[in-house]
Amino acid sequence: MKHERKRVLVTGGAGFLGSHLCERLVGAGCDVLCVDNFYTGTKDNIAHLFGHPHFEVLRHDVTFPLFVEVDEIYNLACPASPVHYQFDPVQTTKTSVHGAINMLGLAKRVKAKILQASTSEVYGDPAVHPQVESYWGNVNPIGIRSCYDEGKRCAETLFFDYWRQHRLRIKVVRIFNTYGPRMLPNDGRVVSSFIVQALRGEDITLFGDGAQTRSFCYVDDLVDGLIRAMDTPDEFTGPVNLGNPGEFSMIELAEKIVALTASRSRMVFKPLPADDPRQRKPDIALAASALGWRPTVSLEQGLGRTIAYFRGKVAPAVQSPSLQPRQAA
Ligand SMILES: NC(=O)c1ccc[n+]([C@@H]2O[C@H](COP(=O)([O-])OP(=O)(O)OC[C@H]3O[C@@H](n4cnc5c(N)ncnc54)[C@H](O)[C@@H]3O)[C@@H](O)[C@H]2O)c1
């Protein structure tokens, strides 16, 4: 039976990116099924969609098979911040690898089109700058970030094998650092961490000398890119980079956030964690030509919207009585 509305499954739909994607797809008239185990996602992120006639939520772990009827699958389920993906690294690899196998199996059964949320981490500590999709990367297979990086690399392999072997319609998207409202305040990602520290007037923690660079894409731009990638003709598989090529050092980012929050926070420097890449910047020529996509939100605009969100979430630090040094009895 032909369905009036496109039925779209979003795994990881209660997370940061997933919740924005669900919102956009519901707004575009799709029937959206959000699947999440709420490991890092929250019901709050999607609460505004509850009760919408074309939105459903299913608590489910993608490391187990799923049987549903859908036309398209966006596979986003996977913790994305080092704090969360390193907490249970074996589960992180399972989520990427078993999750990909289960979702690809589902796509094969119901003949759905499937998009994989891959990552710039597949490039590791890159020897090529900016990173182009043809670059194979420089990844440590046995380090503390490997559960995430290699899990995502293996998921890409599975996508391309299902495409070669079973002619599945696949789209692999390599997402670079993305930020915006609904990031978790405590997940150690640089934008949210700096904003929370600035709003609380705490020291802003930079790792290494703070000269390492990243590019920052605002969530609305990224979601637009995901939908455009899904809508490409069947011959287009990717991988395609999505990110904002504007490059900023950690010090520059901290300075912008301090200025935009009018904070009195100072910068402090700590040792660089293992395998932290020196620089990251996407080459987005392919996204521009194949998807007609380029980011439109400037770092200042995006930070402004993100800071407004965190202001409502984060109270200035006050020393809690339980944390005061104990008086001698
Ligand atoms: N935000 C970024 O900068 C970025 C960059 C590169 C790639 N990505 C990728 O995009 C996707 C979404 O990232 P995000 O930033 O929204 O992170 P997030 O942690 O906010 O979202 C991930 C979601 O997946 C869910 N999840 C985790 N394990 C699951 C499992 N086994 N079964 C079902 N649900 C599970 C979590 O509960 C959460 O809702 C991830 O796959 C991530 O690797 C994000």
Q: How confident is the model at residue 272 (pLDDT cuts 50, 70, 90)?
A: confident
Q: Is 23 helix (H, G, I), strand (E, B) or coil?
A: helix
Q: How many helices (H) and strands (E) does the chain have?
A: 10, 13
Question: How many A from CA of 1 to the centre of ligand 1?
Answer: 32
Q: How far apart are CA 133 and CA 155, in angstroms?
A: 16
Instruction: Report the chain's terminal Cα–Cα distance, integer Å.
Output: 76
Ligand 1, atom 27, lies closest to the CA of: 78
CA gap 232, 126 in Å, rounded: 28
- Ligand 1 geometric centre to CA of 249 (Å): 25
**Contact criterion met (CB below 8 Å) for 267 and 210:** yes
Does any ligand 1 atom lie closer than 6 A to the CB of residue 55?
A: no
Contact 305/181 with Cβ under 8 angstroms? yes
Q: Is residue 269 within 8 Å of 206, Cβ to Cβ? A: yes
In Å, how far from its chain's centre is CA 319? Answer: 33
For 57-83, what is each residue's pLDDT tens digit? 999 999 999 999 999 999 999 999 999
Phi, psi of 186 (to 5 degrees): -115, 25
Do residues 105 and 17 touch, judged by C-beta distance below 8 A? no
**pLDDT band per the 50, 70, 90 thresholds, residue 90:** very high
Assess whether the C-beta atom of 302 lies below 6 angstroms from ligand 1. no
Are the C-beta atoms of 175 and 222 separated by less than 8 Å? yes
Q: What pLDDT is attached to residue 118?
A: 98
Residue 85 CA neighbour count, 13 Å, CB half: 23
Residue 296: Cβ-neighbour burial (10 angstroms; 0-12, 13-18, 19+): exposed
Q: Which residue has the higher pLDDT, 187 or 77?
A: 77
Angle in degrees, CA 257, 263, 264, rounded to 5: 125
> What is the pLDDT at residue 170?
98
Give the nearest ligand 1 atom to 41 CA.
39
d(CA 17, CA 119): 13
Q: Which residue has the tokens 């759905």?
A: 112
> Does 155 sit in the ligand 1 pocket, CB within 6 Å?
no
Asked whether 95 lines ligand 1 (CB < 6 A), one says: yes
**Active-site position among 85, 148, 179, 218:** 148
Identify which of 34, 35, 39, 306 to mutate to test ligand 1's pocket (most ligand atoms within 8 A of the CB).
39
Q: State whether the beta carbon of 18 lies less than 6 angstroms from ligand 1.
A: yes
d(C-alpha 227, C-alpha 26), whole Å: 12
Give me the percent of the chain exceeding a pLDDT of 90. 86
Please determine, for residue 315, whether its predicted confidence score (pLDDT) is greater than 80. no
Residue 279 pLDDT: 78
Strand partners, 118: 174
pLDDT in tens, 131-152: 999 999 999 999 999 999 999 9
Active site residue 162: no
CA of 317 to the centre of ligand 1 (A): 28
User: Measuring CA to CA, how many Å separate 219 from each of 17, 34, 176, 266?
Assistant: 7, 18, 11, 27
Nearest to 15 by CA among 38, 31, 33: 38
For the cut 70, the answer to whether the pLDDT of residue 294 exceeds it is yes
Say if residues 8 and 115 touch (Cβ distance below 8 Å): no
User: Is residue 277 very low, low, confident or very high in pLDDT (cuts 50, 70, 90)?
Assistant: confident
- 11-32 pLDDT, tens digit each: 999 999 999 999 999 999 999 9
